[in-house]
Amino acid sequence: MPSRTQDDDTTIERFHHLAIVMLRGMRRVDEAAGFTGPRASALAVLVFGGAQSLGDLARAEGVKPPTMSRLVKAMQAEGLVESVTAEHDQRQVRIAASAQGRQLLMKGRRRRIEALAKLLAGATPREKAALATVVELLERALSGKRAPG
Protein backbone atom coordinates (compact mmCIF):
# COMPACT_ATOMS: atom_id res chain seq x y z
CA MET A 1 0.00 0.00 0.00
CA PRO A 2 1.49 3.38 -0.99
CA SER A 3 2.29 5.76 1.86
CA ARG A 4 0.13 8.82 2.37
CA THR A 5 1.47 12.25 1.58
CA GLN A 6 0.84 15.50 3.41
CA ASP A 7 -1.52 16.45 0.54
CA ASP A 8 -3.40 13.17 1.06
CA ASP A 9 -3.78 13.90 4.76
CA THR A 10 -5.00 17.42 4.06
CA THR A 11 -7.57 16.12 1.57
CA ILE A 12 -8.72 13.43 4.01
CA GLU A 13 -9.09 16.02 6.79
CA ARG A 14 -11.11 18.29 4.48
CA PHE A 15 -13.29 15.35 3.41
CA HIS A 16 -13.87 14.39 7.06
CA HIS A 17 -14.91 17.93 7.94
CA LEU A 18 -17.24 18.21 4.96
CA ALA A 19 -18.80 14.79 5.68
CA ILE A 20 -19.71 16.00 9.18
CA VAL A 21 -21.08 19.29 7.85
CA MET A 22 -23.13 17.42 5.24
CA LEU A 23 -24.52 14.96 7.80
CA ARG A 24 -25.51 17.85 10.07
CA GLY A 25 -27.26 19.50 7.14
CA MET A 26 -29.18 16.31 6.35
CA ARG A 27 -30.12 16.00 10.02
CA ARG A 28 -31.54 19.54 9.90
CA VAL A 29 -33.56 18.60 6.81
CA ASP A 30 -34.98 15.60 8.72
CA GLU A 31 -35.61 17.54 11.94
CA ALA A 32 -37.44 20.29 10.04
CA ALA A 33 -39.90 17.58 8.99
CA GLY A 34 -40.10 16.14 12.53
CA PHE A 35 -37.98 13.10 11.74
CA THR A 36 -35.25 12.34 14.30
CA GLY A 37 -32.01 10.52 13.55
CA PRO A 38 -32.59 7.38 15.62
CA ARG A 39 -36.10 6.90 14.21
CA ALA A 40 -34.93 7.51 10.65
CA SER A 41 -32.00 5.14 11.03
CA ALA A 42 -34.00 2.28 12.57
CA LEU A 43 -36.78 2.75 10.06
CA ALA A 44 -34.27 2.65 7.19
CA VAL A 45 -32.95 -0.70 8.45
CA LEU A 46 -36.50 -2.07 8.39
CA VAL A 47 -37.50 -0.56 5.05
CA PHE A 48 -34.36 -1.58 3.18
CA GLY A 49 -33.43 -4.71 5.17
CA GLY A 50 -36.86 -6.14 5.89
CA ALA A 51 -38.42 -7.26 9.15
CA GLN A 52 -35.96 -7.82 12.01
CA SER A 53 -36.05 -9.25 15.48
CA LEU A 54 -35.64 -6.63 18.19
CA GLY A 55 -32.16 -7.98 18.96
CA ASP A 56 -31.08 -7.87 15.31
CA LEU A 57 -32.40 -4.33 14.95
CA ALA A 58 -30.57 -3.25 18.11
CA ARG A 59 -27.32 -4.80 16.80
CA ALA A 60 -27.74 -3.11 13.41
CA GLU A 61 -28.15 0.23 15.16
CA GLY A 62 -25.39 -0.35 17.71
CA VAL A 63 -27.63 -0.01 20.76
CA LYS A 64 -28.75 -2.27 23.60
CA PRO A 65 -32.09 -4.11 23.22
CA PRO A 66 -33.83 -2.07 25.99
CA THR A 67 -32.96 1.14 24.13
CA MET A 68 -34.28 -0.30 20.88
CA SER A 69 -37.38 -1.59 22.66
CA ARG A 70 -38.25 1.95 23.81
CA LEU A 71 -37.67 3.32 20.30
CA VAL A 72 -39.78 0.57 18.71
CA LYS A 73 -42.64 1.16 21.18
CA ALA A 74 -42.64 4.86 20.36
CA MET A 75 -42.56 4.11 16.63
CA GLN A 76 -45.42 1.60 17.04
CA ALA A 77 -47.47 4.25 18.83
CA GLU A 78 -46.90 6.55 15.85
CA GLY A 79 -47.88 3.82 13.39
CA LEU A 80 -44.43 3.67 11.78
CA VAL A 81 -43.66 0.03 12.60
CA GLU A 82 -45.62 -3.08 13.46
CA SER A 83 -44.89 -6.38 15.15
CA VAL A 84 -45.32 -9.47 13.03
CA THR A 85 -45.05 -13.07 14.15
CA ALA A 86 -43.10 -15.62 12.18
CA GLU A 87 -45.33 -18.06 10.33
CA HIS A 88 -43.29 -21.07 11.41
CA ASP A 89 -43.04 -20.03 15.09
CA GLN A 90 -45.65 -17.77 16.68
CA ARG A 91 -43.22 -17.04 19.55
CA GLN A 92 -40.85 -15.21 17.21
CA VAL A 93 -41.79 -11.58 16.88
CA ARG A 94 -40.24 -9.41 14.20
CA ILE A 95 -40.48 -5.68 13.74
CA ALA A 96 -41.48 -4.44 10.28
CA ALA A 97 -41.98 -1.01 8.77
CA SER A 98 -45.64 -0.16 8.29
CA ALA A 99 -46.89 1.36 5.06
CA GLN A 100 -46.98 4.73 6.86
CA GLY A 101 -43.40 4.24 8.09
CA ARG A 102 -42.18 3.28 4.62
CA GLN A 103 -43.91 6.32 3.13
CA LEU A 104 -42.41 8.65 5.76
CA LEU A 105 -38.91 7.26 5.24
CA MET A 106 -39.11 7.57 1.45
CA LYS A 107 -40.45 11.11 1.74
CA GLY A 108 -37.51 12.00 4.00
CA ARG A 109 -35.10 10.33 1.60
CA ARG A 110 -36.49 12.42 -1.27
CA ARG A 111 -36.03 15.62 0.82
CA ARG A 112 -32.40 14.72 1.60
CA ILE A 113 -31.66 13.87 -2.04
CA GLU A 114 -33.20 17.18 -3.13
CA ALA A 115 -31.08 19.04 -0.56
CA LEU A 116 -27.95 17.30 -1.88
CA ALA A 117 -28.93 18.06 -5.46
CA LYS A 118 -29.21 21.76 -4.55
CA LEU A 119 -25.73 21.65 -3.03
CA LEU A 120 -24.34 20.24 -6.26
CA ALA A 121 -26.45 22.30 -8.66
CA GLY A 122 -23.54 24.51 -9.71
CA ALA A 123 -21.15 21.66 -10.48
CA THR A 124 -19.54 21.54 -13.90
CA PRO A 125 -19.70 18.34 -15.97
CA ARG A 126 -16.07 17.65 -15.00
CA GLU A 127 -16.88 18.09 -11.29
CA LYS A 128 -19.89 15.80 -11.63
CA ALA A 129 -17.68 13.16 -13.23
CA ALA A 130 -15.15 13.55 -10.39
CA LEU A 131 -17.95 13.15 -7.85
CA ALA A 132 -19.15 10.00 -9.62
CA THR A 133 -15.61 8.61 -9.35
CA VAL A 134 -15.48 9.39 -5.62
CA VAL A 135 -18.89 7.75 -5.12
CA GLU A 136 -17.65 4.61 -6.89
CA LEU A 137 -14.50 4.60 -4.75
CA LEU A 138 -16.52 4.92 -1.53
CA GLU A 139 -19.00 2.23 -2.58
CA ARG A 140 -16.14 -0.11 -3.35
CA ALA A 141 -14.23 0.69 -0.16
CA LEU A 142 -17.29 0.39 2.08
CA SER A 143 -18.31 -2.93 0.49
CA GLY A 144 -14.81 -4.36 0.87
CA LYS A 145 -14.34 -4.91 -2.87
CA ARG A 146 -11.08 -4.18 -4.65
CA ALA A 147 -10.61 -1.82 -7.55
CA PRO A 148 -11.06 -3.40 -10.98
CA GLY A 149 -7.90 -4.26 -12.90
Question: pLDDT tens digits, residue range 108-126?
Answer: 999 999 999 999 999 999 9
* Per-residue model confidence (pLDDT) at position 8: 86
Q: What is the pLDDT of residues 37-81, one digit of tens each?
A: 888 899 999 999 999 999 999 999 999 999 999 999 999 999 999
Give the start-to-end residue ranges of the domains of the chain. 6-121
CB count in 10 Å sphere of residue 35: 19
- Closest alpha carbon to 57 in 69, 35, 33, 98: 69
Whether domain 6-121 has CATH 3.90.950.20: no
Give 88-104 pLDDT, tens digit per residue. Answer: 777 788 999 999 999 99
